[in-house]
Amino acid sequence: MHEIIRSNDAVVLSFAESLMKDAGISCMIADQAMSILEGSLGMLPRRLLVEGDRADEARRILTDAGLGDELLDPEA
């Protein structure tokens, strides 16, 4: 799995997850349970992870949907 988005914005993550599921790309939102530890303050970012061999396709889909600014640098 490759991390492509790290965000505190639940709407962005939900939208991105929906786009991945519509495209048939396996994904998961990591660190959702961390909100229990932080008291639901939204300080700890959640991560969108996608299938490693489809990460480039996922990036194209998210960019086309207007989420290009949310994507992590693939070289980092």
Q: Reduced to 3 states, what is the DSSP secondary structure of residue 46?
A: strand
The token pair at 8 is: 């505190």
pLDDT value at 69 more than 90: yes
pLDDT, tens digit, for every residue of 26-35? 999 998 777 6
Instruction: Find the farthest-apart pair of alpha carbons in the chain and give their distance in angstroms, rounded.
Output: 35
pLDDT (mean) for 71-76: 84
pLDDT given for residue 41 in this prediction: 62
Q: What is the pLDDT of residue 43?
A: 72
Give tens-digit pLDDT for 9-49.
989 999 999 999 999 999 999 987 776 666 656 678 899 99
Domains and CATH numbers, the chain: 2-70 (3.30.70.790)
Beta bridge partners of 3: 49
